[in-house]
Amino acid sequence: MNRYPLWKNLVVLAVLLVGLFFALPNVFDQDPAMEVSGTRRAEVNEQTESRVREILKTAGIEAKGVEPKPGKLLLRFQDSESQLRAKEALEDALGSNYTLALTLSTDVPGWLRTAGAQPMYLGLDLRGGIHVLIDVDMDAAVAKAMERYAGDIRTLLRENKLRYTTVSQDTEGVLVKFKDAAVRDEALEAIGSEFRDLLIDAGDQGADFLVTARMGRQEQQAVRRFALDQNITTLRNRVNALGVSEPIIQQQGERRIVVQLPGAQDPGKLKEILGATATLEYRLEDTEHNVQDAIDGRVPPGSKLYYTRDGQPILLKKRLIVTGNQITDASSGFDQRSGQPAVFVSLDGQGARRMRNVTTENVGKPMAVVFIESRTETRYVDGRKITRKIPVQEVISVANILEPFGRRFQTTGLDSPGEARDLALLLRAGALAAPIDIVEERTIGPSLGQDNIDQGFRSVVIGMILVMIFMAVYYRVFGLVADLALVTNLVLIVAILSMLQATLTLPGIAGIVLTVGMAVDANVLIFERIREEIRNGSTPQASIHAGYEKALSTIVDANITTLIAAVVLFSFGTGPIKGFAVTLFIGILTSMFTSIIGTRAVVNLIYGGRRVQKLAI
């Protein structure tokens, strides 16, 4: 009686061994580290590694290790002071061609990493991470909206066959000039009926008759709110597409966004993607005017001078066909005919109609694809760090329109498959509604995180010790068995968090502490039932059997209600609450396994299959 079959004992042993294996990486220390990754203009190779080693040697900084990884270098240091000194030295020597990101890297042995065992992620409050404060350029958002209005007004006037002289716009509004007062009055009525949100005025200026369209205060506020909300959504989509665990992206004030990225796998890439403003614009080439005249300063009113990536000038029409805002999906691949990297683009309904109309009217004419991004250049002048944004607009592709197309097409002319993947990610996540500027960046170092880890660890240890002392004193041998199950339960929680690559935060540690207290509840119910059976005159073996069997339904009912609460917390909670819910959910499942199956296996090994006169309980 009270004996498990061999296979069940082997299952319990296997679960324990697997748990120990996957929990093991968490006992290794984390080294202050730095990732060196290249931008589109530079790549990380053996020459880069040699150069980095030489820079560190010249600066008198000793690196604990330099590990080449795909597309980047991982530098390990003995302490955070060496890490910060190395960042300053490398920034000064490498310039803006490389991205440097501070991080922490666990010193897990290679054989564990090869077997797939990785430590669990720690949240920003424990491990540290990247804290970024972003400012949204609201004036640019309003100017961008006015540019769209200017293009829509040009289209409206053409559709109504109303001849105008010029259409210009600035942050104040759109100005349309006419030579005829009657035409001006017709345009005034057409623009006023089509754009009811704008303030429309008429006026005269010498021989010109004017129509002015301006945004009111409420409309400008709406544009600013939309730009902020759209940028928050876009940044969240970009971060989620890179698989960052539990990012925090939220509004601060009227024009700023806070981004916290804990447990980042690739912080260098995150910073690059976060600050990127890459998008595409599709414009027709102006073949009616001379490019040389534009270079000499005589740019036609309806055109704009651009340059290709190899420096060749090209004249494009100001009228936009579609922009990144109208792209609903994008994926990277290769052009079947040329084998070049390509981005396959899908447009929304409005963009598809405009693209179809333009390509139908201009079959045989060239259309250009303009790649737009904002690059950050960092320089040191007199020991001071100076960072500035450099807007870049490059024509990456010019091709004749062979036939009309609309919703889905491809764009080529990219430098590499990596650039195609990055551009597809940015387009898929959505274009930024307004330019952003990273005004504050903090890398939360190991000092604050280590204090939190130590305090959290102490709380778990103290809680466990107190519970274990109580169980050992009150339930004797059975209490020691429950203590063994409690330790095993903690190991299994850590192992599952590591296997899932979940993020552990301070609320998560609170969930573990709560689980430690709850983990012995099931054993208390079982042990009290065994005591009751003994008092009722049952034999020790029968008492053990009845204790586990009769207390099972009560244990399951109590834990199911807590599981439901954990699921609700995870479904409707935010990041910290989700962290608490995850550890609580996992802890309940593991505690049921250890307190019911695990302790039964140990009790069976101690008392099962032999005559027992008295139980130490």
What is the CATH topology of the domain spanning 29-107? Alpha-Beta Plaits (3.30.70)
Predicted pLDDT at 488: 92
The CA-atom distances, in angstroms, between 595 and each of 265, 499, 526, 566 are 35, 22, 9, 20
User: Which residues face 304 on adjacent strands?
Assistant: 316
Range with top average pLDDT, 50-54, 218-222, 341-345: 50-54
Predicted pLDDT at 424: 73
pLDDT in tens, 79-104: 878 888 888 888 788 876 777 777 77
pLDDT in tens, 407-445: 787 777 666 787 677 667 666 656 677 777 777 766 665
Among 17-21, 231-235, 563-567, the least confident range: 231-235
Predicted pLDDT at 431: 61
Predicted pLDDT at 574: 66
Helices 446-500 and 506-519 pack at an angle, to 10 degrees, of 60
SS3 for 456-511, per residue? HHHHHHHHHHHHHHHHHHHHHHHHHHHHHHHHHHHHHHHHHHHHHCCEECHHHHHH
Where b means 16+ CB within 10 Å and e means fewer, 209-219 reads bbbbbbbeeee
397 CB-side CA count, 13 A: 18
Across the chain, mean pLDDT equals: 81
Predicted pLDDT at 78: 85
Above 50 in pLDDT, residue 114?
Answer: yes
Rounded Cα distance, 22 and 489, in Å:
13
What is the CATH topology of the domain spanning 279-407+426-431? Gyrase A; domain 2 (3.30.1360)
Question: Into which CATH architecture does domain 6-25+446-607 fall?
Answer: Up-down Bundle (1.20)
Q: Write down the number of H helices and E strands in the chain.
A: 17, 22
Average pLDDT over residues 451-473: 81
Ramachandran area for residue 250 (φ above 0: left; ψ -120 to 50: alpha; else beta):
beta
Predicted pLDDT at 139: 84
Note the Cα 108 to chain centre separation in Å: 25
Average pLDDT over residues 583-595: 90
Rounded Cα distance, 263 and 504, in Å:
9
Neighbours of 276 (CB within 10 A): 20
Average pLDDT over residues 160-175: 81
At 62, the pLDDT band (50, 70, 90 cuts) reads: confident
Average pLDDT over residues 553-559: 85
Please answer whether residues 360 and 284 qualify as being in contact, where contact means their C-beta atoms are separated by less than 8 angstroms.
Answer: no
553 burial type by CB count under 10 A (0-12 exposed, 13-18 middle, 19+ buried): exposed
**523/444: higher pLDDT:** 523
* β-strand pairing of 248-252 with 30-38: unpaired
- Phi, psi angles (nearest 5°) of residue 68: -70, 135
Ramachandran area for residue 213 (φ above 0: left; ψ -120 to 50: alpha; else beta):
beta
Residue 507 CB partners (closer than 8 Å, separation 6+): 576, 577, 579, 580
- The H or E element that residue 345 is part of is strand 341-347
Domain assignments of the chain as residue spans, ordered by start: 6-25+446-607, 29-107, 139-219, 279-407+426-431
Rounded Cα distance, 275 and 375, in Å:
8
Please answer whether residues 589 and 564 qualify as being in contact, where contact means their C-beta atoms are separated by less than 8 angstroms.
Answer: no
Rounded Cα distance, 250 and 233, in Å:
10
417-423, Cβ contacts within 8 angstroms, sequence gap of 24 or more: 417/332, 417/334, 417/341, 418/71, 419/40, 419/341, 420/332, 420/333, 420/341, 420/342, 420/343, 421/332, 422/273, 422/276, 422/278, 423/278, 423/280, 423/330, 423/332, 423/343, 423/371
Predicted pLDDT at 447: 47
Neighbours of 178 (CB within 10 A): 23
Above 50 in pLDDT, residue 446?
Answer: no
Average pLDDT over residues 296-313: 86
Which of 27, 10, 121, 124 is CA-nearest to residue 499?
121
Average pLDDT over residues 581-597: 90
- pTM to 2 decimals? 0.56
Rounded Cα distance, 279 and 372, in Å:
5
Average pLDDT over residues 575-580: 77
Neighbours of 17 (CB within 10 A): 10
3-state secondary structure of 605: helix
Strand order in the sheet with 72-77: 63-69, 72-77, 30-38, 98-106
3-state helix, strand, coil in the chain (%, to 5): 50, 25, 25
Above 80 in pLDDT, residue 55?
Answer: yes
Residue 381 CB partners (closer than 8 Å, separation 6+): none
CATH code of the domain occupying 139-219: 3.30.1360
Rounded Cα distance, 401 and 600, in Å:
75
> 29-107 and 139-219: same fold?
no
Among 50-59, 190-199, 466-475, 582-591, the least confident range: 190-199
CA angle (48 as vertex; 45, 54 as ends), nearest 5: 145
Predicted pLDDT at 132: 79
Predicted pLDDT at 71: 76
Please answer whether residues 168 and 174 qualify as being in contact, where contact means their C-beta atoms are separated by less than 8 angstroms.
Answer: yes
3-state secondary structure of 370: strand
pLDDT in tens, 243-265: 555 577 888 888 898 887 765 54
Predicted pLDDT at 265: 45
